Amino acid sequence: MSTRHAEICRPVEKRLRFSMLLASLAQLMKLLIWLLMIGIVYQVGQGRFPLFYLLGLFVLTVVYYTLKIKSHDESHYAAFQLEQILRERLSQKIAGLPLGQVQNIGSGALSKVLIDDVHELHTFVADAPPLKAEAYSTPVFVLLALAWFNWQFALSVLLFAWFILLVLKLLFARGKLFRRQYGLALAQINSAIIEYVQGMGTVRTFDAGESSYGRFQAALAHFQQIMTDWLAKVGFPTRLARTLFTPMPMMIFILCIGSLLYWQNIISTFTLFAFFVLATGLIETIHPYMSLFHLMEKSRAAIERINEIEAMAALPVCGNPQTPAQFDLEFRQVSFHYAQAGSLKNQQSAVLNQVDFSVPQNSFTAIIGESGSGKTTLLSLLLRFWDVTGGEICIGGVNIKAITPEKLMSLCSVVFQDNFLFSGSIAENICYGLDNVSEQDMINAAQQAHIHDFIMSLPQGYQTSVGERGQLLSGGQKQRLTIARAFLQNRPILLLDEPTAYSDIENELKLMQAFNNLMQNKTVLMVAHRLSNVVNADQIIYLQKGQIAAQGKHQDLLAQSPVYQQLWLAYQQANHWVLEVK
């Protein structure tokens, strides 16, 4: 077993060793069974009835199968235990990574590691220990028995078996080159499937033709090419190995060498017969060796991908964490750019550049600007989904890097534009992240978010399932559920990213009234596109290309900022625009 295999299996090392011990004892019982069978033939040849040999054969057979089954049980229990350990460990690791890094990896690649690669390790751990014990202990036992009959003959058999194993290793060495390409191609297929299924509504609406399968077909074609190249490299060696490594070559070798030794009166007919029987054990060793080799090669790529995830740098946590006493916000010369080489975002200029402003405690600051100006990025940086590449962000004078991630999250309620719901009930989604929430508190939060009446109209009320990613609800309904969650959390800092984006005209006014109540005694930072929602803000930050173009109250900006004047004029014109039908 390689160092990487041994390291990743360390949590279940004792159980695997016990499994190998049982498997080795089982192989010893198998050898004794063969020797008894040889003895039975000898006794019959001498005209004796081998009663005790037959009884011994029965007992040893029962012991052999008992040990063999117990060995496989132990390795399978270890495999399930390791599977649980690895998934928990990987989940915790991914949860501690910066969100940007997780998005760069992609859901397809992550699901492959958490599901496929961990399962690959399960298969290896469940099957490899008994195979390893069989592959390495059986030759030792058999060769010792052969040497007892005739050491010269045993030495020749050992050299021939060693030659076969050497050829086997050379034949399969070329297959190692394609492990990584196979894993990457499979991850691309997973990503394409996830994207296609999640975007089914868009696909059916805008592209019902063959091009809707384009990315998926390209991923499949790439995977097929990888497999074709791999089979071209290892297909012939595999078929040759399966042809050569059968009992026939060993039997021919034993027949030739045995005949030569017999005619020289070195061995007897009975010894030649014993060699024919026992040498079968060496041939049986080759097949477990081949299976073990395949298991190790398949699992090696899975281990590499698991190790890559575990080696990623987690979000840095201060060794001496602090807790802010106040809840004012400060963005001090904040700059940010995406570091992932080759990504679309990296090809743009810096998302934020020297952004500097303060949000007093219990005040309302609105962030406006065109798409891509960095508005939502500011909220993500405050939550440490990414870390700033320049400057610092402080809460109550404390750098957010000096606050533990758990504490930072406990200070902020968030309503994003792109809302995510879990495939549970409405009640579970509203109360997500909170313990011991009373039913009345949940209902009050839903009423404040103007979603209670809709929920009560459903057959199962608050126990109604929202479906995967909340797909059974409309965009506006999903958003109001997350708003109800924010009401229920009631944290001192409130972050809003277009909170009324999916609301109709009738409900938008109700939601803004509800937000006015929610904003009381809170530090509020809201990203908005509708300027009518922010005219009463204590402060407006107007971003252009990652920099502050204007800052102040609405009336002051109208009087003093030409760029804000142009933005307001365009907004007014858009509100009064009508479609002329000719």
Confidence of residue 238 (pLDDT cuts 50, 70, 90): low
Instruction: Measure CA 82 to chain center.
Output: 15
Best-predicted range by mean pLDDT (99-108, 226-235, 503-512, 548-557): 548-557
DSSP 8-state assignment for residue 246: S
Residues 370 and 305 in one domain: no
Backbone angles phi, psi at 530, to 5 degrees: -85, 110
- CATH number for the domain spanning 173: value is 1.20.1560.10
Best-predicted range by mean pLDDT (90-104, 398-412, 468-482): 398-412
- pLDDT greater than 50 at residue 365: yes
Residues 446 and 396 in one domain: yes
Give residues with Cβ within 8 angstroms of 498, minimum separation 6.
Answer: 417, 527, 528, 529
Lowest mean pLDDT, pick from 72-86, 242-256, 374-388: 242-256
Residues 180 and 120 in one domain: yes
Tell me whether residue 324 is in a domain: no
Q: What pLDDT score was predicted for residue 578?
A: 54
Confidence of residue 264 (pLDDT cuts 50, 70, 90): confident
Tell me whether residue 134 is in a domain: yes
Tell me whether residue 180 is in a domain: yes
Largest CA distance in the chain: 121
Q: 58, exposed or middle or buried, with CB in 10 Å at 0-12, 13-18, 19+? A: exposed
DSSP 8-state assignment for residue 210: G
Q: What pLDDT score was predicted for residue 345?
A: 44
Residues 263 and 411 in one domain: no
Tell me whether residue 317 is in a domain: no
Residue burial 353-376, b: 16+ Cβ < 10 Å; e: rest: bebebebeebbbbbbbbeeebbbb
The domain tally of the chain equals 2
Tell me whether residue 524 is in a domain: yes
Residues 301 and 336 in one domain: no
Residues 474 and 335 in one domain: yes
Interval 429-449: pLDDT, tens: 888 878 888 889 899 888 888
CB 113 within 8 A of CB 309: yes
Residues 333 and 306 in one domain: no
Tell me whether residue 322 is in a domain: no
Residues 337 and 303 in one domain: no
Residues 177 and 307 in one domain: yes
- CATH number for the domain spanning 349: value is 3.40.50.300
Rounded CA-CA distance 223/441 in Å is: 52
Q: 204, exposed or middle or buried, with CB in 10 Å at 0-12, 13-18, 19+? A: exposed
Residues 370 and 300 in one domain: no
Q: What pLDDT score was predicted for residue 393?
A: 95
Tell me whether residue 490 is in a domain: yes
* Among 529, 422, 438, residue whose Cα is nearest residue 481: 422
Rounded CA-CA distance 570/552 in Å is: 19
Lowest mean pLDDT, pick from 27-41, 147-161, 544-558: 147-161
Residues 289 and 336 in one domain: no
Rounded CA-CA distance 57/42 in Å is: 15
Residues 457 and 525 in one domain: yes
Interval 387-411: pLDDT, tens: 898 999 999 999 999 998 889 988 9
CB 29 within 8 A of CB 8: no
Measured from the Cβ of residue 14, the count of other Cβ atoms closer than 10 Å reads 11
81 token code pair: 């235990």
Tell me whether residue 515 is in a domain: yes
Lowest mean pLDDT, pick from 228-242, 247-261, 534-548: 228-242
Confidence of residue 342 (pLDDT cuts 50, 70, 90): very low
Confidence of residue 453 (pLDDT cuts 50, 70, 90): confident
Give the SS3 label for residue 518: helix
Q: What pLDDT score was predicted for residue 198?
A: 60
Give long-range contacts, CB 8 A cutoff, 24+ apart: 44-48.
45/270
Backbone angles phi, psi at 408, to 5 degrees: -60, -45
CB 412 within 8 A of CB 380: no
Domain boundary among 311, 344, 368: 311
Backbone angles phi, psi at 347, to 5 degrees: -80, -10
Q: What pLDDT score was predicted for residue 25?
A: 93
Rounded CA-CA distance 461/469 in Å is: 19
Range of the domain at 238: 3-311
